[in-house]
Structures are given as C-alpha cells and as structure tokens.
Amino acid sequence: MDKTRLRGIIIIITAFLVVAVSFKWFSSVTTGLEVYPSPYLTEKKMLSDYNPNLAGTPGDTEVLVFVGEEPGGTLLVVGGSHGDEAAGPVTALLLAENAKVTHGRLIVIPFANRSGYTHTLPQEAHPSTYVIPTPRGDRVIKFGSRLTNPIHQWPDPTVYVQQVDGQKLAGTEARNLNRAFPGSADGHLTSRVAWAILELIRTENVDVAIDLHESSPEYPVNNAIVAHDRAMEMAVFASLDLYFEGVEIGIEPSPLGLRGLSHREWGDNSDVYAFLLESANAAQGRLRGKTDAELVVSGKDPMYVKSHERGRLYVRYPDHGIPLVERVARHTTTIQALANTFSEFYPDRRIFVDNIPSYAEMTAAGLGSYLAPTAH
Ligand SMILES: [Zn+2]
C-alpha cells in the first residue's frame, strides 16, 4: 500500500471517530431536561401544538396542563426563557411535579427556550448541569444559555432590529427569547418559539401569565414583580400579601419603550395579566468568583458578601448567600400570591393550586423534598 493511500485511510478513520464522539456528546446534551409530572397531570402537550412550524425543531418543548375538578381561570407559568437562570425552570418543575389543581387550570412550560439548554454562554465557565439531592437520589438539571444555540439559528445579523418598534439591538439578541415577542409563526427559531407562547396564551384564554427569571445581584431590578400596566393593581395586592408572609418583593412597571419582552408583549397582544419575576442569582453576576455547579445551588459567593458590605448591591446578600431554594421559594410564593389575588378580583374564575409547599416549608425541608430524582 502506498503512503498516500494509507494517509487517506487514516484521515477517513479519524474523521469517522470525530463524528462518532461528537454525536455521542450531542445526544447527551438533553440529559437534565426531564420532567416527572404529578399524578394530577391532565394532558401533556408540545409547544408546536400552538405553532406547527416548531414541530421537529430544537425549539419544541413540553407543555404540561393540569385541570382542576372545579372550573375557574387559567394560570400559565413559564420557566427557562433564559437557560442560565436556574430558579425559573426549578420553580416550574416543582409546580409540575407536585401540583394538584382544584379550581381552574395550571399550564407549565419548564424549559421555554429549549434550544438554549443545548449549550452554555462562551467564556462564562458555567457548568452544563447542577445537582439537587433528593431522599431517593440526585436530581440532575441542565444549565443552559441565555440565548438560543447558534447551531440552531445562524448567522446572527450585525444588528437585531426588534419587530415592534424597530429598536436596534446587538446581533446576538436575535437569539434572546425575551426580546423576540410577539414573534412570528414562520420567523427564525427564537421568533417561532415566542409566537407559539403568545398563541398558547390567546387560544387557551390564559388569565394570568408569569415569566420566571433571575438576574445578577448587582442588577437594580431584583426580588421584584415586573407588571404590565393592566396587571399593576394585581401586583400591588400580591406584594402586600407577600409582605405579611415575610417575603419582601418590589414592584416594577413594565417600561413602555422596552419592546419584545414578555411582560410588555403578552399584555399588549392578548387580554392576559402579564408578570415577570426576578430573583438574585450569583452565578450570573459579573462580580462573582469561582463558578461551578455548586454556586448555582448554594448562591454563595464571597465577592458578593463583600460587595454587599460595601453597599454596592440592591439586594440584601447575607453571609450564607442566596441559595436556589430561597429563590425558588420566592418565585413559588409569588406565583401563589398572584393566583390568590386574581381569584379575589374574579371569584367566578378562581384559580387554586394545592399541594405546593409554602416558603417556610420549602426553605426548611429543601428542594429535594419536592422533586423527583433523575430516572436512570
Ligand atoms: Zn432572564
């Protein structure tokens, strides 16, 4: 055999091995996106049921529907719009894995931008998964990126022109689900996902829609309910209820000039009362030190303790940090407070979700008491 032929064979074998290894790695990236719904699940749908152009794409994702025995209104909870904000999907999972709806309906989307969970942001040292121990074994959950995977939506434009008012944003923001609303049925992948969520809100006649987020501890909007104009009064009443429960939460109006965001476009393009919740996540912050799976769960970073001591933060950042369990408990309690307030405003469309732990129960028992372990 001459040298050229041998070299050719070696190159082909090497290429085959590279493809095989990459394929194995790519197939493993969905680990950590499992949902184990409570026995009271009524129906499992897909987001593509609301936009057929999503079917078979990496943007399609699970939609879990829980219908109560008594009629009432509909509550939508969306986690995972931004894959690096862990309290969102974990709150959505906790609801989906425990909820027993008695009045009305609960619809949960745990991983709204599913494509964002197939990669992490470059140069952030983010882990690909994090672990929540449960009494029956570990629950492994995927950590993702703020943006849709560029493999699924490429190339980015030089400038992203937001569809509503033509506001110009960085090209990468074309892959940010929370700048893509109202979206379009046959636009780019992120835009299709946005459109499908809004179509769900419209066709399912959702009364209250809550988009779960987190932000860095140095960001001014934290521990807050961002409310659409029509939803403001409801947010005020809910925050008072929370205050008496010992959960301090601020209220921020959805800015009129900031287009493409859930709390603005959901409210403007449907009759829903739209809210976005923020909690403080050290793993996202610019001031953080060592970044690993432990930081996502513990929320404890010595740099933030120092920053807080020097008055540089907008949130109280205690020595023990702001652990995931506190952030999830905050989101969960706020969701319940908003549902209760809606039910007081509209008693004939009452929404009641039972079997959800209170803030005190969750922080005492830990998240693992309310989540299923990852099935092997
Ligand atoms: Zn976010």
pLDDT digits (tens, 9 = 90+) for 259-312: 999 999 999 999 999 999 999 999 999 999 999 999 999 999 999 999 999 998
* Ligand 1 midpoint to CA 136 (Å): 31
Structure tokens at 85: 């904000």
248 contact partners, CB below 8 Å, separation of at least 6 = 223, 242
Confidence band (pLDDT; 50, 70, 90) for 26?
low
* Ligand 1 midpoint to CA 214 (Å): 5
* Ligand 1 midpoint to CA 347 (Å): 32
* Ligand 1 midpoint to CA 376 (Å): 31
* Ligand 1 midpoint to CA 215 (Å): 6
Bridge partners for 74 per DSSP: 105
Predicted confidence (pLDDT) at residue 100 exceeds the cutoff of 90: yes
| CA-based radius of gyration for the chain | 21
Rounded-to-integer distance, Cα 55 and Cα 49, Å: 8
Coil vs helix vs strand at 11? helix
* Ligand 1 midpoint to CA 218 (Å): 14
Confidence band (pLDDT; 50, 70, 90) for 220?
confident
Confidence band (pLDDT; 50, 70, 90) for 189?
very high
In the DSSP assignment, the letter for residue 178 is: G
* Ligand 1 midpoint to CA 83 (Å): 8
316 contact partners, CB below 8 Å, separation of at least 6 = 308
Pair 122, 146: CB distance under 8 Å: no
Confidence band (pLDDT; 50, 70, 90) for 29?
low
* Ligand 1 midpoint to CA 11 (Å): 44
* Ligand 1 midpoint to CA 18 (Å): 35
Q: How far is CA 319 from CA 211, 221, 280, 306, in A?
A: 29, 21, 14, 9
User: Average pLDDT of the chain?
Assistant: 95
Rounded-to-integer distance, Cα 187 and Cα 145, Å: 21
* Ligand 1 midpoint to CA 27 (Å): 26
Pair 192, 184: CB distance under 8 Å: yes
* Ligand 1 midpoint to CA 239 (Å): 21
Q: How far is CA 358 from CA 45, 67, 68, 250, in A?
A: 28, 21, 20, 19
Taking residues 244-256, report their average pLDDT.
93
* Ligand 1 midpoint to CA 199 (Å): 21
* Ligand 1 midpoint to CA 213 (Å): 4
Q: What are phi and psi of 173, to 5 degrees?
A: -65, -10
- Give the model confidence (pLDDT) of 35-82 as tens digits: 999 999 999 999 999 999 999 999 999 999 999 999 999 999 999 999
Predicted confidence (pLDDT) at residue 228 exceeds the cutoff of 80: yes
* Ligand 1 midpoint to CA 204 (Å): 24
Confidence band (pLDDT; 50, 70, 90) for 376?
confident
- Between the two ends of the chain, the Cα-to-Cα distance in Å is 48
Instruction: Let me know how long the chain is.
Output: 376
* Ligand 1 midpoint to CA 179 (Å): 10
Pair 367, 376: CB distance under 8 Å: no
